[in-house]
């Protein structure tokens, strides 16, 4: 990320009230304001950039051992010289021009003690009463955690790719440990793998623990009081030991831990989808320490990743063992794999169950039927037979749900247990006509609830042996899982569609003196609720309020935040004097959200429009959002800027309102960054603000609102080739009439 200077006019003489000196009252006020802030603040004096004052956050960032004032910055932080930061200070001091840096990488310390942080910062000149530059003030926000989160996501993606390509388990686990330790240098990671019976834990990976320690704990039993890992394995929950030296869980391993130099250990069980113990994921520290929420979240994420790797490893090992044992087992696995792919190829429950019946014939049996319980009644939803006539006969029979001893399907639904017999079913049915000589009836279950049954019928001399029954049960289990996923997918799509629809205006209202047009294009396939939104609503004084914004993230939490912003604006706008007050009220509402209702920030453009004799007067506030664009009568495009930072971030947004007047056929374009940041394809650049301005200027002369919207969206569609988008896109056009 580059840092660009920003031109600002020099303050008028006497602005400071004549108070000058190395530590003016104004600088003292700023120091007091920033004293408890998480933002970094430092005030430097003179051409030597002597550090006069700084807040605790600044000293914490550079290292508490360098907490000194009254010395030049070059002496306090000599490593900054080679990175260009002192040169930037010289330029700001010399020219008086402010400099803004975004996502700047700073290396603090040297040699083995060097560490990197990332900062968004501003250098701005300090001036005396006469307007002369007396020093430089630095204000910044550390973004290191954001960078680390990005690195964490990248490392996690690499691990998933390794798992997907079935890399060796020890390679995956070792890479996982090293990745976490690189991201968190104070953490030592260990993975232990459980035996098949879950009674002992074996060494999996621990590249940074001493070899003697790994050998000593290899094979420890799972049980209460067996350190953090053995206890977590038996409890099936995270066990946190903040001080090994005093915790009774480590009484048998305290000396070993002391020799290894570890003083705290948090262990999370690694479990399979069915609850089986796969191992433990442990995070050690060399000093006593309690975990933060982020530490526990990190442990859960990578415990789940380890579970995926172990499950994939075990499945592959089982498949290879089966291949080695007998050819029949290899054929079974191939059949199940093919069947699983076929079942997963559709997200319609009915199609999945039809495919289940088809897959069973003739491999497992000549005749197959699937029955479901729907609204308390049994329905035969799928059949498969070698001839159309047999198919009609089989489909014409529907078992009775409460037939008791007379129906095998009813008994299986009640018991949830497979039933096998070398005879025709005892209840009524076309068994003689079909030549049935045996059957197997298998329950279809979802989380322990039996919702249907698969019935296979044999004819002639064929019999159902244990091998075929086991194969059929496995196929039924996979089909039941696929059917469950299909139901969940359908429900999720429906929920997302309904919720998204409820968060957008069904129709734009008619606003006196204006025409409105809007465009909304969500990213993805409709499974996720977008974070972009817009709204237009009337106010009691005859004016109209409008807003357009973007919530960080997607899904239910983003939808919650979207609704909070819109409803807060609608609720307070009639009660507050202007847009600035409404934006501040929205920011307060975001900061007062309950913990479970999301924590993402919001960018927003909010304003109100009022018909006047001169045209449509628009007063708007921009809070961290992309600047709106104004298309005037001469087809000139300019950005409408108003200062203000994003909302819900815990900092004062400092919104300022600005006014524009739209005369007939002049338009104001509000948009989200999904427009300017879209790509034409892999490796292509972003659409960008410059192209958006050209597209806006290409609208017809004296355009209506829909003409402006069409000019922009058509150009975006042309740029992307009509392909999918990576981010939601929202556009709102206001045109004077």
Please tell me the predicted confidence (pLDDT) of residue 10: 37
Confidence label for 22 from pLDDT (cuts 50, 70 and 90): very low
Q: Is the pLDDT of residue 387 over 90?
A: yes
Residue with the larger pLDDT of the pair 37 and 64: 64
Same fold, 148-316 and 346-496: yes
Confidence label for 6 from pLDDT (cuts 50, 70 and 90): very low
**Other Cβ atoms within 10 Å of 216 Cβ, number:** 15
Q: Which neighbouring-strand residues pair with 546?
A: 536, 607
Q: Residue 182, class by beta-carbon neighbours within 10 Å (0-12 exposed, 13-18 middle, 19+ buried)? A: exposed
Mean pLDDT of 470-487: 90
DSSP letters spanning 522-552? -STTSSS--SEEEEEEE-TTS-EEEEEEEES
Mean pLDDT of 211-220: 95
Judge: domain 346-496, CATH 3.40.50.300. Answer: no
Q: Is the pLDDT of residue 12 over 50?
A: no
Q: How far apart are CA 675 and CA 678, in angstroms?
A: 6
Q: Is the pLDDT of residue 448 over 50?
A: yes
CB 523, CB 674: distance < 8 Å: yes
User: What are the residue ranges spanned by the domains of the chain?
Assistant: 5-142, 148-316, 346-496, 504-736
Q: Is the pLDDT of residue 2 over 50?
A: no
What digits encode the pLDDT tens for the residues 149-200? Answer: 777 778 778 888 888 888 899 889 998 898 888 877 789 999 999 998 889 9
What digits encode the pLDDT tens for the residues 265-276? Answer: 999 999 998 889
- Rounded to the nearest integer, the mean pLDDT of the chain is 87
Tokens 């250990």 correspond to 265
Window from 6-20, 113-127, 452-466, 641-655 with minimum mean pLDDT? 6-20
Q: What are phi and psi for residue 258, nearest 5 degrees?
A: -65, -40
Residue with the larger pLDDT of the pair 300 and 715: 715
Q: Is the pLDDT of residue 724 over 70?
A: no
Residue with the larger pLDDT of the pair 87 and 110: 87
Please tell me the predicted confidence (pLDDT) of residue 103: 86
* Token reading at 247: 């915790």
* Architecture per CATH, 5-142: 2-Layer Sandwich (3.30)
For the four alpha carbons of 585, 591, 592 and 594, in that order, the dihedral sign comes to positive
Q: How far apart are CA 154 and CA 497, in angstroms?
A: 30
Please tell me the predicted confidence (pLDDT) of residue 114: 75
Mean pLDDT of 289-293: 84
Mean pLDDT of 72-99: 93
Q: Is the pLDDT of residue 25 over 50?
A: yes
Confidence label for 35 from pLDDT (cuts 50, 70 and 90): low
Please tell me the predicted confidence (pLDDT) of residue 295: 80
Q: Is the pLDDT of residue 616 over 50?
A: yes
CB 671, CB 731: distance < 8 Å: yes
Length of the chain counted residue by residue: 737
Class of domain 148-316 as given by CATH: alpha beta
Q: CATH for 504-736, among 3.90.600.10, 3.60.40.10, 3.10.20.740, 3.30.300.30?
A: 3.60.40.10
Please tell me the predicted confidence (pLDDT) of residue 236: 93
What digits encode the pLDDT tens for the residues 407-425? Answer: 889 899 989 999 999 999 8
What digits encode the pLDDT tens for the residues 487-546? Answer: 888 777 777 667 666 666 668 999 999 999 999 887 765 545 668 899 999 999 999 999
What digits encode the pLDDT tens for the residues 129-138? Answer: 888 999 999 9
DSSP letters spanning 424-490? --SSSSSHHHHTEEEEEEEEEEETTEEEEEEEEEEETT----HHHHHHHHHHHHHHHHHHHHHHHHH
Confidence label for 20 from pLDDT (cuts 50, 70 and 90): very low
Please tell me the predicted confidence (pLDDT) of residue 16: 35
Contacts of 315 (CB under 8 A, 6+ apart): none
CB 33, CB 53: distance < 8 Å: no
Rounded to two decimals, the pTM is 0.42
Window from 7-16, 207-216, 440-449, 722-731 with minimum mean pLDDT? 7-16
């Amino acid at each position: 990320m580059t840092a660009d200077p920003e031109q600002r006019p020099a303050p008028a003489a006497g602005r400071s009230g004549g108070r000058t000196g190395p530590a003016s009252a104004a600088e003292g006020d700023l120091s007091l304001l920033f004293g408890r802030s998480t933002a970094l603040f430092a005030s430097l004096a003179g051409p030597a950039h002597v550090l006069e004052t700084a807040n605790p956050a600044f000293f914490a960032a550079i290292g508490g051992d360098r907490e000194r004032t009254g010395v030049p910055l070059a002496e306090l932080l000599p490593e900054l010289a080679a990175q260009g930061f002192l040169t930037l200070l010289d330029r700001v001091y010399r020219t008086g021009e402010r400099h803004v840096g975004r996502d700047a990488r700073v290396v603090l310390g040297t040699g083995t003690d060097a560490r990197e942080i990332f900062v968004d910062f501003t250098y701005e000149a300090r001036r005396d009463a006469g307007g002369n530059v007396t020093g430089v003030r630095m204000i910044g926000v550390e973004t290191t955690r954001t960078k680390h989160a990005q690195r964490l996501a990248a490392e996690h993606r690499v691990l998933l790719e390794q798992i997907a390509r079935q890399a060796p388990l020890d390679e995956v686990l070792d890479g996982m440990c090293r990745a976490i330790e690189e991201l968190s240098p104070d953490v030592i990671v260990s993975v232990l793998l459980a035996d098949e019976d879950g009674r002992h834990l074996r060494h999996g990976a621990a590249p940074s623990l001493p070899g003697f320690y790994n050998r000593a704990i290899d094979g420890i039993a799972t049980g209460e009081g067996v350190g953090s890992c053995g206890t977590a394995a038996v409890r099936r929950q995270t066990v946190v030991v903040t001080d090994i030296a005093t915790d009774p869980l480590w009484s048998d391993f305290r000396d070993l831990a002391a020799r290894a130099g570890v003083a705290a250990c948090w262990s999370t069980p690694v479990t399979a989808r069915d609850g089986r113990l796969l191992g433990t994921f442990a995070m050690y520290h060399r000093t006593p320490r309690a975990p933060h929420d982020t530490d526990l979240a990190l442990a859960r994420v990578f415990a789940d990743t380890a579970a995926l790797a172990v499950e994939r490893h075990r499945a592959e090992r089982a498949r290879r063992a089966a291949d080695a044992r007998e050819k029949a087992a290899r054929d079974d696995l191939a059949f199940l794999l093919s069947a699983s792919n076929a079942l997963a190829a559709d997200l319609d429950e009915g199609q999945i169950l039809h495919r289940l019946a088809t897959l069973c014939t003739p491999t497992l049996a000549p005749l197959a039927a699937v029955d479901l319980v729907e609204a308390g009644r049994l329905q035969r939803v799928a059949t498969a037979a070698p001839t159309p006539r047999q198919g009609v006969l089989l489909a014409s029979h529907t078992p009775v749900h409460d037939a008791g001893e007379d129906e095998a399907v009813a008994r299986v639904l009640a018991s949830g247990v497979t039933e096998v017999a070398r005879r025709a079913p005892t209840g009524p049915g076309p068994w003689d006509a079909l030549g049935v000589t045996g059957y197997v009836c298998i329950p279809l279950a979802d989380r322990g609830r039996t919702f249907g049954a698969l019935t296979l019928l044999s004819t002639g001399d064929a019999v159902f042996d244990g091998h075929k029954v086991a194969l059929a049960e496995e196929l039924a289990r996979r089909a039941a899982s696929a059917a469950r996923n299909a139901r969940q997918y359908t429900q999720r799509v429906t929920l997302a569609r309904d919720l998204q629809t409820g968060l957008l205006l069904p129709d734009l209202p008619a606003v006196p003196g204006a025409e409105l047009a809007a465009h909304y294009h969500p990213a993805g396939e409709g499974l996720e609720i977008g974070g972009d939104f817009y709204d237009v609503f009337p106010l009691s004084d005859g004016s109209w309020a409008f807003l357009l914004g973007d919530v960080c993230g997607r899904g239910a939490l983003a939808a919650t935040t979207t609704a909070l912003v819109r409803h807060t604006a609608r609720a307070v706008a009639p009660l507050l004097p202007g847009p600035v007050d409404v934006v501040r009220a929205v920011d307060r509402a975001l900061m007062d959200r309950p913990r479970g209702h999301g924590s993402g920030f919001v960018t927003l453009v909010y304003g109100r429009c009022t018909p006047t004799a001169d045209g449509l007067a628009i007063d708007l506030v921009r809070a961290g959002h992309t600047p709106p664009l104004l298309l005037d009568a001469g087809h000139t495009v300019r950005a409408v800027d108003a200062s203000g930072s994003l909302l819900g971030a815990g900092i004062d947004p400092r919104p300022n309102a600005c006014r524009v007047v739209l005369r007939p056929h002049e338009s104001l374009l509000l948009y989200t960054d999904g427009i300017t940041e879209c790509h034409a394809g892999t490796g292509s650049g972003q659409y960008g603000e410059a192209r958006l301005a050209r597209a806006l200027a290409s609208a017809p002369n004296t355009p209506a609102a829909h003409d402006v919207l069409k000019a922009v969206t058509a150009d975006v569609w042309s740029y992307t080739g009509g392909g999918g988008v990576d981010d939601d896109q929202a556009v709102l056009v206001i045109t004077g009439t």
